[in-house]
Amino acid sequence: MADTISIEAKARQLGSILKDDQVSILAPDRVAYSRDLWPRGLIEFSAGRPAPSPPDVVVWPETTQDVVHLVEWAAGTETPLVPYGGGSGVCGGAMPRRGQVVVDLKRMDRILELDGPNHRVRVQPGMNGWTFEEVLGRSNLTMGHFPSSIFCSTVGGWLAARSAGQASTRYGKIEDMVSGLEVVTGKGEVIRTGNPGAASLGPDWTQLFVGSEGTLGIITEATLKVLPAPEMRVYRGYGFDRVSAGLEAIRRFMQKGLLPSVVRLYDEFDTVIARSGAGRGSEADTLVKEVMGRLTHLTKPMLPWVKVAALRAALSKPGWLNKLADGLLPKLTGQGCLLVVGTEGRPRLAQAEADRIHEEVLRAGGRDLGPRPGEHWEKHRYSVSFKQSGVFYSGGFVDTMEVATTWDGLLRLYEAVKTAVSPLVFIMAHFSHAYPEGCSIYFTFAGSSDDPEQGLKLYDQVWNTALAAVTRAGGTISHHHGVGRSKQAFMVEEHGDSLELFRMLKRVLDPKEILNPGKMSL
């Protein structure tokens, strides 16, 4: 039915529900909203391909009632809606298809209530991440949620995709910070979940809506926990000979109940190179050799994580690499793996916690590298992620895969993925969201090919290979980026029988399948 109404007719109908400036069918808008930051789309984009499937209409609701009216209209006309926050998602979750209507929530961006005594804030979903922290900071508060995409993502997108910030080890992921939601379901019903010590009958609906990526409801408000802004931060760096030793150190201090804000362990890039070099003469090998040839004189003393950045740079503009390396070389200390740990909070607590962690790390064989690696990390915490475009322009691609599992299988998962994809692309990893029960692994892979067609093929092959390896090794296919379109083929492996429960929820909450269809394997 959606297809039988013309774009103009849709716009007219929507114009009678919303104000004129809340509806657009202008080409620039439709093109702008045809993609999110799924790197596959960026490969196409850099190859100059037109937008694959621009939405018919883009709308900007301003109130919950607007959203209700939109959903009612969508149900009546059977037109799918695609909720859209910052569009920073990397899995195609906010990507529309032909005939669909994009619902951008960024105009719903107000703080509704900042309730300091109860440590919570009620906020609309379109609130920008960085603005949000700035406003909270004025009251000496923080959410503690700092995704690398903080400048370009929204509260609603975080909740919809179960986002994790850089300090998640202390503050939790977004699902740990949310205590209530207002959601408009596919039936146009407004559900308010949670309340302090909520009456306890029935499911915790908050935990069922969080992570549903717009498929069960459109989030129109959230109640989030806030904490006093830390008065002090302590950073320390440690060196390890092997990843396994670094992981063991993390496991030990996490299981002692210690709660660092930042935990980042970077793997030995050199091992990966060695592995790829021993490969089958594939293009990736050639690329590796070529790039490594240029890098040799620099990489020897470099810390692995610097190499990640350096490699990306090498794939695009070597000049860039030189700049990076110049700035960093003096700080580089040697081979092996770097572990950065940060603690924060009230000064005495932050210091005491750092000291306890220090003892545990040394006991586990870590070498003290002092405060500088951590301070350096803090200074550049948001920069690396945004400097990918050069890679794409140079015909290559970079993508990241964040997986997780419990400690008993972590190293196995890490090895399995590396082994599976290293014949195809450069791959490296860091471990950055730790729990007493396990940890996430954040893989970065970079590939290159002569033409976009092959690039896309390679890209798909890498993802299929990697995700298959993850599920075989018992890991989860996503720790915090979500599923969207890119990982949906693996939802059955991910959830087994329990996927049917998700589908059951879909039937209950969105019987007409108008909310973000074609995603998450629903």
Partner 1 sequence: MIGTEEDVTQDLTRAVGGEHVSSRPSDVMFYARDCWARRHLMPDDPPRHPVWVVWPGAASEVARVLQVAGRHELAVVPYGGGSNLVGGAGFGDDRPVLVVDTKRMSRVLELDETSLIVQAQAGITGGDLDEYLRVRGLFVAHMPTSLSQSTLGGWLATRSAGAFTSRYGRIDRVCMGITAALPDGSVVRTRVAPRRATGPDLMHLFLGSEGALGIITAAHLKVVRVSKVRVWLAGGFKELSQAVAAMADIMSSGTRPVVASIADPVVALRHSGQPSFMLVCSFEGDGELPVVQRDEARLLVLAHGGAYLDPAAASGFWTARRNDVFGDIIARAESRVIGEVDIGADWRHLAMVADDARGRLESMGCGVTMELGFFGLEGGALLCKWQLPEISDPEDVGLRQDEALAIVLDAARRGGGAVAHHRGVGRQRSAAVRAQLGNRFDLFADVKRQLDPKGLMNPWLTEGA
**416-435 positions binding partner 1, by CB under 8 A:** 433, 435
Minimum Å gap between C-beta 34 and ligand FAD is 13
Q: State how far the Cα of 79 lies from the Cα of 73, in Å rounded to an integer.
A: 8
Of residues 367-386, those binding ligand FAD (CB under 6 A): 385-386
Count of residues that bind partner 1 according to CB under 8 A: 91
Asked if 366 touches ligand FAD (CB under 6 A), the answer is no
Token pair of 47 as six digits: 């190859």
Q: DSSP code of 210?
A: T
Q: State how far the Cα of 386 lies from the Cα of 308, in Å rounded to an integer.
A: 13
Q: Which is nearer to partner 1, 134 or 437 (CB)?
A: 437
Asked if 475 touches partner 1 (CB under 8 A), the answer is yes
Q: State how far the Cα of 238 lies from the Cα of 366, in Å rounded to an integer.
A: 6
Asked if 202 touches partner 1 (CB under 8 A), the answer is yes
Alpha-helical runs (H) found in 201-346: 205-209, 243-255, 269-277, 283-299, 304-316, 318-328
Out of 54, 55, 61, 93, name the contact with ligand FAD by CB under 6 A. 93
Per-residue binding string, partner 1, 288-327, x by CB under 8 A, is ----------------------------------------
Could you write out the three-class secondary structure of 49-76?
A: CCCCCCCCEEECCCCHHHHHHHHHHHHH
Asked if 356 touches partner 1 (CB under 8 A), the answer is yes
Asked if 193 touches partner 1 (CB under 8 A), the answer is yes
Q: Which stretch binds partner 1 (CB under 8 A): 186-194, 279-287, 291-299, 414-422?
A: 186-194
Asked if 440 touches ligand FAD (CB under 6 A), the answer is no
Out of 42, 74, 123, 259, name the contact with partner 1 by CB under 8 A. 259
Q: How far is CA 98 from CA 11, 42, 156, in A?
A: 15, 19, 24
Residue with the shortest CB distance to ligand FAD? 157
Q: Which is nearer to ligand FAD, 98 or 289 (CB)?
A: 98
Q: State how far the Cα of 165 lies from the Cα of 143, in Å rounded to an integer.
A: 10
Asked if 83 touches ligand FAD (CB under 6 A), the answer is yes
Q: State how far the Cα of 195 lies from the Cα of 197, in Å rounded to an integer.
A: 6
Q: State how far the Cα of 500 lies from the Cα of 488, in Å rounded to an integer.
A: 14
Out of 29, 66, 104, 213, name the contact with partner 1 by CB under 8 A. 213
Region at 356 (left for phi over 0; alpha for psi -120 to 50; beta for the rest): alpha
The answer to whether 361 touches 258, Cβ cutoff 8 Å, is no
The answer to whether 110 touches 127, Cβ cutoff 8 Å, is yes
User: Count of residues for the chain?
Assistant: 522
Of residues 89-148, those binding partner 1 (CB under 8 A): 115, 117-120
Q: Are strands 178-185 and 217-225 parallel, antiparallel or unpaired?
A: antiparallel
Per-residue binding string, ligand FAD, 94-123, x by CB under 6 A, is x----------x------------------
Q: Which stretch binds ligand FAD (CB under 6 A): 1-9, 159-167, 273-281, 314-322?
A: 159-167
- Contact set with ligand FAD (CB under 6 A): 36-37, 82-90, 93-94, 105, 125, 147-149, 153-154, 156-158, 160-161, 163-164, 213-214, 218-219, 385-386, 480-482, 484, 516
